[in-house]
Amino acid sequence: MQEPMKIGIIGCGKISQAYFNGAVKAPNLKIKACADLRLEAAKAAAEQNGCAAMTVDDLLADEEIELIVNLTIPAVHVDVGLQILSAGKHVYAEKPLATSVEEGKKLMDAARAANLRVGSAPDTFLFKAGQTARKLIDDGWIGRPLSGTAFMMSHGPETWHPNPGFYYEFGGGPLFDMGPYYLTSLINFLGPIRSVMARTAKGFEERVASSAGNEGKILPVGVNTHCAGVLEFESGAIVTVTMSFDIWKNELSNLAIHGSEGSLEAGDPNNFDRPVRLFRPQDSETREVPFTHADNKRMIGVIDMVDGIRNDRPHRASGEIALHVLEVMEAFDRSSESGQALRIESSCERPEALPSGLLPWRVS
C-alpha cells in the first residue's frame, strides 16, 4: 500500500475545520501543515488538528507536500492557485474557482503547462444524497430527464456569518456563493450546460448585519442579489434556477429532476441529510428512497483527486467542471443585461458516479 500523500492547507478560516475533519480517516492523504496570512490562525488550526503551522512561503517550499487545498477568499483564489502551481504542486480550490472566467482560464492554462492538476469545490455532489439521486437517474427510475428546478432562496448571511461583508462584494452574491453547489449537482445529474437565459436584480442597496461581533454594521451591496434563469443542457433538459438573498421565507424543494417516467426530489446540495424522494405514476404517493452511498464529508473531492493522481484517472471534482460552472454563473448577469440567451462556450465531462455502497472512501 502506498504511503499517504502529504498535503497542505492555505487559509484557516471558518470552512477549514470541515476539511480537517474530513481528512481524519482518509486512507490516502495526510495533512502535514497549514498556513494563513494570520499566523495565529494557522497555529490555532494546527494545534487543534495535529499538524504543523507554517508561513505561506514555507508551506509552498516544502518538497514533501504534493497538493495544497486553497481555502482563501474568492478574490485571491487564482493568485494563490498560481503560486501553488509555480511551486510544483497540485491545487484544490474552494469555490468558486475564480471570480471571472478570464482568471479561471489563467489557472487552468498554468496547470496544463506545468502538467499539474486542478480540483475544485464543491465536492458535495459526491455526498450520499447526490450520489443516490445520480444512481436513480442512471438506473432509469425517472426515464429520460426532461426538466428540473433549483431553488436557493434566503435573506442573506448577515444574521449569522462572522464576516458577512464579502458576500456582497465582487465575487460574492447568492449565485457565486451558493450557485456552485447547485450547478455542479445538476451537471452530475444531467451533464454540461448549453445556454443560459436569465434576469438578475439587486433588492437592497445596503444590508445591516446582526451576526455576533457585527451588530449594526452597514454592508454596501455591490452585486446582484436575486438571480433567476433558465438553463438548457446539452442533453436537452431544461432547468429553472433561482438563487436569491432577497427572500424572507421559502418552502420549495431545493433540487428536483423530472423525467419521462417520474419525478425526483434530489435533496439539498448544501444540507446533506435531506432525503431523496421519488414519485412515479404507478405509485400512490412520493416515497423516500434509502441512501445507496456512503455518508461522505467535505474533503472527499480531495481524497478522490489524490486517488486519481495515484491511479492516473480523471478526478471527479475537476477544474474543468468548476470553470464550466463559472462561465454559467457569469452568463446570468450578461444575459440579463443583453436580454438574450447566451451560448456557453466551455464544456466538461459528466463526472463518473461513485461506486454504490455504504463504505466511505470508495472512490475508484
CATH number (domain holding residue 204): 3.30.360.10
Phi, psi of 224 (to 5 degrees): -70, 140
Residue 155 counted as domain residue: yes
- Can you point out the beta strands (E) in 202-334? 206-208, 218-220, 226-233, 238-244, 255-259, 262-265, 276-279, 287-289
261 in Cβ contact with 280 (< 8 Å): yes
- For residue 122, whether the previous peptide bond is cis, meaning omega lies within 30 degrees of 0, is yes
Write the Ramachandran bin of 250: left for phi over 0, alpha for psi from -120 to 50, otherwise beta: beta
Whether 332 is in a domain gets the answer yes
Query: Is 199 contained in some domain?
Result: yes
The CA distance from 53 to 112, in Å, is 30
Rg (CA), the chain: 20
Give pLDDT, residue 1: 63
Q: Clarify whether residues 100 and 174 are in a common domain.
A: no
Q: List, in order, residues 6 or more apart from 345 with CB less than 8 Å away.
A: 327
55 domain residue, yes or no: yes
Q: Other CB atoms closer than 10 Å to residue 303's CB: what's the count?
A: 26
**Euclidean distance between the first and the last CA atom of the chain, given in angstroms as a whole number:** 15
CA distances from residue 25 to 30, 37, 356 in whole angstroms, order as listed: 9, 28, 19
The grid cell for 40 is 495565529
pLDDT for the residue 315: 97
Residue 354 belongs to some domain of the structure: no
Q: Are 177 and 278 in a shared domain?
A: yes
Residue 162 maps to a domain: yes
Phi/psi zone of residue 62: left (φ > 0), alpha (ψ -120 to 50 degrees), beta? beta
Q: What is the pLDDT of residue 296?
A: 86
Q: Are 93 and 305 in contact (CB under 8 A)?
A: no
H or E element in which residue 271 lies: none
Residues 15 and 111 in one domain: yes
Domain boundary among 85, 120, 155: 120
CA atoms of 139 and 136, how far apart (whole Å): 5
Buried-exposed string 312-327: b where 16+ CB fall within 10 A, e elsewhere: eeebbbbbbbbbbbbb
Say which CATH number the domain at 69 has: 3.40.50.720
Q: Which of 268, 265, 258, 364 is closest to 308 using CA atoms? A: 364
Q: Are residues 170 and 208 in the same domain?
A: yes
Shared domain for 97 and 132, answered yes or no, is no
Between strands 52-54 and 29-35, the pairing is parallel
Do 17 and 166 lie in one domain? The reply is no
**Total number of domains constituting the chain:** 2
Instruction: Determine contact, residues 199/243, Cβ cutoff 8 Å.
Output: no
Give domain status of residue 301, yes or no.
no
Residue whose entry in the numeric block shows the C-alpha cell 492557485: 81
Residues 138 and 85 in one domain: no
Whole-number pLDDT of residue 41 = 96
- 57 and 174, same domain (yes or no): no
Q: Are residues 331 and 193 in the same domain?
A: yes
What is the mean pLDDT, run by run of 10 residues, along the chain of 364 residues?
A: 92 94 94 96 97 97 98 93 98 95 97 98 95 97 98 93 88 92 98 98 95 94 97 98 95 94 93 89 93 90 96 97 98 97 97 83 70
Verify that 13 and 104 share a domain, yes or no.
yes
**Global pTM value:** 0.94
pLDDT of residue 358: 61
C-alpha 152/C-alpha 268 separation (Å) is: 9
Pick from 75, 98, 120: which residue ends a domain? 120
Q: Which residue has the cell 482563501?
A: 72
User: Do 272 and 130 form a contact (C-beta atoms < 8 A)?
Assistant: no
Query: Chain centroid to CA 122: how far?
Result: 2
Q: Are residues 32 and 100 in the same domain?
A: yes
Rounded Cα gap, residues 280 and 259, in angstroms: 9
Give the residue from 71, 88, 120 where a domain finishes.
120
What's the rounded Cα separation, in Å, for the pair 295 and 360? 7
Q: Which domain holds residue 109?
A: 5-120
Residues 199 and 282 in one domain: yes
Calculate the CA 201 to chain-centre distance: 23
Residue 314 domain flag: no
Judge whether 298 and 314 are in contact, CB under 8 Å: no
